[in-house]
Structure 1
Amino acid sequence: MSDILREFCAENFTDVPAAIEAGARRIELCDNLAVGGTTPSLGVVEQTVAYAHENGARVMCMIRPRGGDFVYSDVELAMMETDIFSACEAEADGIVFGCLLGDEQQGYRLDEEACARLMTVAESAADAFELEHLDVTFHMAFDALPPEAQKPAIDALAELGVTRILTHGGVAGTPIMGNIDRLRELTEYAAGRLIILPGAGITYENVGEVVSGIGAPEAHGTKIVNIR
């Protein structure tokens, strides 16, 4: 169990010290979890990164300008570009985003152009602030894709250099244990090109069973460690 990398999903700094003390080794830092997480303020990022780095943990910064869907206008993408530079200036270890095209009625598909645009910005920002490495997580926008579009999305994101994909392996709200087979299938398909990071419904009580069933090296959640 100790070799599992536990990523704690934090809404601002409040629970970060307790989470790290309880065993979280990576923080996904967000604001406004009520809508699934949005970009935290620069001040929150700076203080969280400083604390985490002093205490043996890494920080992934959410880059999402609003709640709702993951289809972004050019203006919103420009906001995300600015926020990526801010996260890198604050010495975050990585960023988290997801971009789609389409709609709920017609179905969603990966916005490869927007993802490539943000990856290019991320590389430039990492170079500008002399970061040794910048992880990139494609978040649970992945779960809005129809199943038949998910493996092609893995191919495209791996080609772009994305580090990992955060996914529940099924429709939001479904029990995580019911999605183990799909998560294992996606992990095997990714074949080490990127990491399939399971999340949503994973707790400190079931994390061992989940990761062993999937063959996952990492797990994500707001209850991934026992802080209460």
Structure 2
Amino acid sequence: MKKNQLEIACFNFESAVIAQENGAHRIELCENMQLGGTTPNYILAVKVREQLSIKMHVIIRPRGGDFVYTDEEFVEMKQDIKQFKKLQVDGFVFGILNEDGSVDKIRNKELVNLAGSLPCTFHRAFDVVINVEQSLEDVIECGFETILTSGQGINVLEGISILQKVQKLADERIVIMPGGGLRSTNIELLEEKLKEETFFHTSAITDHSDTANPEEIKAILAYL
């Protein structure tokens, strides 16, 4: 029997509390849902950290848009990691690409090293890399523990074949965490197709708000 776990992308304090109260194993704290998630406000992070006993990872993404960053933005990312480490967060989520769509190994390694003992997830920048096989090896080389990906599809269902391929290629060297359009309506199929024990990632938002739905979290957990 697999022991899959659930991570909730939380865009506000309310979602973080809902995630914990309804059985999620971990949250990814971010803001600006309309931009796909950016680095959260430090005050919000303080408030959430004080409230939560489950694990809390923080996204380090200075803006929406692409994943090619300027020198100034890279400095900002380093400063954010240093600040959030003081909060005793449990991990970081980020990803930097080169202009040609390859993984920026130099900068990613620097951030992973800066995170120290805290685990790092390479986020959905992986969904726009030019070469999935090479990028997988590069991300592993950088020291990441997890890749968050929809399998390069608009959502996890569309990307299921790539998710399966990447999971097989990873061969348990790194966790492949499906995320992007994951809902209680498709979790059963995903859980069947992906053989390895893993985390599943969702915002659990089912309306036009930016707050997680407690019933959706329960419904997803029922399949894990």
TM range (shorter): 0.7 to 0.9
Corresponding residue to 1:223 among 175, 191, 204: 204
Q: Is the 8 A contact 2:109 2:143 kept in 1?
A: no
Tell me how large the CA RMSD over aligned residues is.
Answer: 1.9
Question: Structure 1 stretch 72-81 or stretch 2-11: which is displaced more?
Answer: 2-11
What amino acid is the match of 2:135? Answer: A
- Spell out, residue by residue over 1:29-75, the C-alpha distance to the aligned partner (whole angstroms, 9 max, x if none): 0010110111001111122122222xxx1111010111111101111
In 1, the alpha carbon distance for the partners of 2:39 and 2:28 equals 11
The residue aligned with 1:87 is 84
Q: Is the 8 A contact 2:126 2:152 kept in 1?
A: no
The answer for unaligned runs of 5 or more in structure 2 is 206-211, 216-224
Q: TM-score, normalised by structure 1?
A: 0.85
Q: Is the 8 A contact 2:103 2:139 kept in 1?
A: no
What amino acid is the match of 1:199? Answer: G
The residue aligned with 2:137 is 155
- In the TM superposition, structure 1's runs of 4+ consecutive aligned residues that sit over 3 Å from their partners are none
Give matches, 1:6-21, under 5 Å.
6-21=6-21
Q: How far has the Cα of 1:90 moved from its partner? A: 0.7
Q: Is the 8 A contact 2:146 2:177 kept in 1?
A: yes
Give matches, 1:57-76, under 5 Å.
57-76=54-73
In 2, the alpha carbon distance for the partners of 1:87 and 1:207 equals 32
The percentage of counterpart residues that share the same residue type is: 33
Corresponding residue to 2:110 among 109, 113, 117: 117
The answer for unaligned runs of 5 or more in structure 1 is 124-132
Corresponding residue to 1:178 among 138, 149, 158: 158
Q: How many residues were matched structurally?
A: 208
The residue aligned with 1:141 is 125
Q: Is the 8 A contact 1:87 1:95 kept in 2?
A: no
Q: TM-score, normalised by structure 2?
A: 0.86
Q: How far has the Cα of 1:2 moved from its partner? A: 8.8
1:29 aligns with 2:29: yes
